[in-house]
Amino acid sequence: MTDIKRRAFMRSTAAGLTAGTLACQGLPSAASETEGSTESREETKHAMSDVRLKAMTMERIDTHSHWHSKPAALKNMALGLGDFTQSPGMSFSRQLALGSRKLYGIDAGLFLRPDSSEELFEKAASLRAKGPAAALEAALDAGDISIQFCFSGFRPEHASHAKLSPRLRLLAYIDQAIAGQDRAFCPDGRDMEFNYYDSISGHFAGPKTLTDYLDALDATIDSWRSHGVVGMKTAFAYTIGLKFSDPSLEEAQAAFAKKQDMSREEIAKVQHYAFRHALLACQRNELPVVVHTGFQIWGHSDLRQSNPMHLHNLLVDKRYKDITWVLLHGGNPYVGETTYLARMFPNVNIDFTWISWMTRARFRMALAEWIEIVPHGKFCFGSDSSCPESIVGTGEITREVIANVLEDQIARRIIDERIALDFIEHTYVKTPTRLFQL
């Protein structure tokens, strides 16, 4: 590259960085001072580098969301977002403001608050009044999302939201089928009235033996693909933790035979054996295993039990060598451990959902590290969103950070533009398409 071309590229990079950063903060950039003018939008686009333009506008696959068939009213969500000295919802407030601006054309400023524009809340209510399918489609269009993953229980045929859009794919949540009632296994649920065998019996019509239970588990997982399921999700990090022992079949059978009289230790043997059995079912059905790692927002469990390194004994076990693993949230705060696992194990991948907007400072650091160490075909871009505004807003925030990190690494001559563009293409579309057989 000649010096003239390099200087021109750096000028366009700086212009795009400034415009994008200001936009993310809810402030007008020089190129956007004339609101709504085609000329100003074209000037902004021209000022962007090719990398930033692709990062901000390329259609993507969203691999993680908590979409509900009846999303909460935006005004009700805003009620808890007024005082950030008491509420931890500042990042959520920012994403709602960004999503609202793109969906409704109304700028709430840097944050959505209880005293934000009534017109904004009315437009959000009007969108919801059109029904969950219309609200979802509007969000996917505004967020440039071609396919949206969301959760179902382990019985996806009962998921009311599963048919809302042809763009939806499901991740089946396995925890209740193995824990019985997962919240009984975190500190907040220790005092709840609960019997493990009775809970499992409620899910699987009273299995008399461990074999009955495992057969029912197999039949359930084997049916998932026919209901639009593309992977298995677990959040055991919140409850029983990610450290799984390896009980023998005989030990698990003996424990299960005690039914209502199983001790805590015997329950753990059954759960760990059943989870390993579910892994084999996923491997047989070529379903990726999507694992919550790191930070938690309910239950008050010891965060250390969510460290992805606890999965190491499963990753080195040849019985599971053909399973595709996706580690959610980048392991935050265990980012270095996630880096190691994704670098060392060909079947371990990273989804940077949540970390990308909850703690952007750590995400910038983590993404820069991952780009240097981890193969670039091992990333997915989920949102962890739950309503139209958060689907769009999390996408805007994450796209901005990706663009910033890639442009910074180009400027530092760590990567070149070709690598950056390739990273975006794989992360946004090619990698999730391959991992989840879309």
Cβ partners under 8 Å of residue 147, min gap 6: 61, 62, 167, 168, 169, 432, 438
Give residue 116's pLDDT band: very low, low, confident or very high (50, 70, 90).
very high
Predicted local confidence at residue 47, as pLDDT: 60
pLDDT of residue 68: 78
- Of all residues in the chain, the percent with pLDDT exceeding 90 is 82
Band the pLDDT of 350: cuts 50, 70, 90: very high
Helix axes of 264-285 and 249-256: crossing angle, nearest 10 degrees: 120
Q: What is the pLDDT of residue 258?
A: 97
Instruction: Give CA–CA dist 353/349, Å, rounded.
Output: 12
CATH of 60-66+143-388+398-435, one of 3.40.50.300, 3.20.20.140, 2.102.10.10, 3.40.950.10: 3.20.20.140
Please state, as a whole number, how many other Cβ atoms lie within 10 Å of the Cβ of residue 301. Answer: 18
What's the pLDDT at 214? Answer: 98
Inform me whether the pLDDT recorded for 182 exceeds 90: no
| CA 363 – CA 383 distance, rounded (Å) | 13
One-letter amino acid for residue 353 of the chain: T
Query: Taking 60 as the threshold, does the pLDDT of residue 422 lie above it?
Result: yes
The mean-pLDDT minimum among 16-25, 51-60, 118-127, 204-213 falls in 16-25
C-alpha distance from residue 16 to each of 50, 53, 153, 311, 406 (Å)? 10, 8, 42, 40, 12
Query: Which is more confidently placed, 425 or 14?
Result: 425
Q: Tell me the two tokens of residue 128.
A: 């919801």
- pLDDT at 17 (0 to 100): 39
37 pLDDT higher than 50: no
Among residues of the chain, what percentage have pLDDT more than 70? 89
| Whole-number Å distance between alpha carbons of 434 and 334 | 26
Mean pLDDT of the chain: 90
Find the farthest-apart pair of alpha carbons in the chain and give their distance in angstroms, rounded: 78
As a whole number, mean pLDDT of residues 25-33 equals 37
Helices within 58-146 (DSSP H only): 74-78, 90-104, 118-129, 132-142
Please give the pLDDT value at position 82: 86
Residues in the chain: 438
pTM: 0.89
Q: Which residues in the chain are classed under CATH 3.20.20.140? A: 60-66+143-388+398-435
| Position 4 pLDDT exceeds 70 | no
Other beta carbons within 10 Å of 297: 8
Reported confidence tier of residue 186, pLDDT bands at 50, 70, 90: confident
Query: Is it the case that residue 184 has pLDDT exceeding 70?
Result: yes
Confidence tier at 19 by pLDDT (50, 70, 90): very low
Other C-beta atoms lying within 10 Å of the C-beta of residue 358: 21
Tell me: pLDDT of 384 over 90.
Answer: yes
Q: Mean pLDDT over residues 19-36, rounded? A: 39
Q: What is the mean pLDDT of residues 140-159?
A: 96
Q: Which residue, chain included where needed, has tokens 């000295």?
A: 85
Q: Give yes or no for a contact between 65 and 384, defined as CB atoms under 8 angstroms apart.
A: yes
For residue 131, is it left (φ>0), alpha (ψ between -120 and 50) or beta? left
Q: In the chain, count H helices and then E strands.
A: 19, 8
Crossing angle of helices 335-344 and 360-373, rounded to 10°: 20
Flag whether pLDDT at 45 surpasses 60: no
Amino acid at the residue 231:
G
What's the pLDDT at 273? Answer: 98
Tell me how far apart the alpha carbons of residues 172 and 170 are, in angstroms, rounded to a whole number. Answer: 6
Would strands 289-292 and 60-62 be described as parallel, antiparallel, or unpaired?
unpaired
Q: Is the pLDDT of residue 9 over 70?
A: no
